[in-house]
């Protein structure tokens, strides 16, 4: 499996640490983009860093965790090459990959328990994108410059 980037803010730090343990158990390479302690920090800084490393081609996918997952997704989705999805169940994780080709999984530590978060992450990593014409057409409409009618 290709390597993964992972980051959080202080509100998602403990869940990030738990997910790192799961990734190690699964033998999946990852890079922790921070933070490296639970001190207060600003979630947009880590979402923008994630977008930067994905845009540089260093990682095909990433995981962002904050208190709810919402702030991280809003900041990450400001970047044209990011399709970040806030997910709190395995079905949504699968659909985010299959139908939307999501490349960043966002979760909330205050929303999802560690066991479920591990299940969600596993589904997100194991699910390929459906590149059929209908999904490709819809994903293209998410790109900047695509007319919205």
> Phi/psi of residue 104, each to 5°?
-135, 125
Read off the tokens for 73: 């997704």
Rounded Cα gap, residues 65 and 120, in angstroms: 13
Please identify which of the residues 10, 48, 99, 135 carries the catalytic annotation: 99
The C-alpha R_g of the chain, in whole angstroms, comes to 14
Q: What does the alpha-carbon distance between residue 117 and residue 90 come to, in Å, rounded to a whole number?
A: 9
Catalytic residue among 48, 66, 81, 106: 66
Is 79 among the residues known to form the active site?
A: no
Contact 87, 116 (CB under 8 A): no
Residue 106 known to be catalytic: no
Nearest to 107 by CA among 127, 84, 75: 84
Q: Cα-flanking dihedrals φ and ψ of residue 135, to 5°?
A: -75, -40
Which residues form the catalytic set?
66, 99
């Amino acid at each position: 499996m290709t390597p993964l980037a992972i980051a959080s803010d202080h509100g998602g730090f403990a869940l990030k640490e738990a997910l790192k343990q799961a990734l190690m158990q699964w033998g999946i390479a990852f890079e922790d983009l921070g933070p490296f302690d639970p001190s207060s920090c600003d979630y947009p800084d880590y979402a923008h860093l994630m977008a930067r490393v994905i845009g540089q081609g260093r990682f095909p996918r990433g995981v962002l965790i904050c208190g709810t997952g919402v702030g991280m997704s809003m900041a990450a989705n400001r970047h044209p090459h990011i399709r970040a999805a806030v997910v709190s169940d395995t079905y949504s994780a699968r659909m985010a990959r299959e139908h939307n080709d999501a490349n960043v999984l966002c979760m909330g530590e205050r929303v999802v328990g560690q066991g479920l978060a591990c299940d969600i992450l596993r589904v997100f990593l194991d699910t390929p994108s459906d590149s059929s014409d209908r999904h490709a057409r819809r994903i293209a409409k998410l790109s900047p410059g695509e007319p919205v009618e």
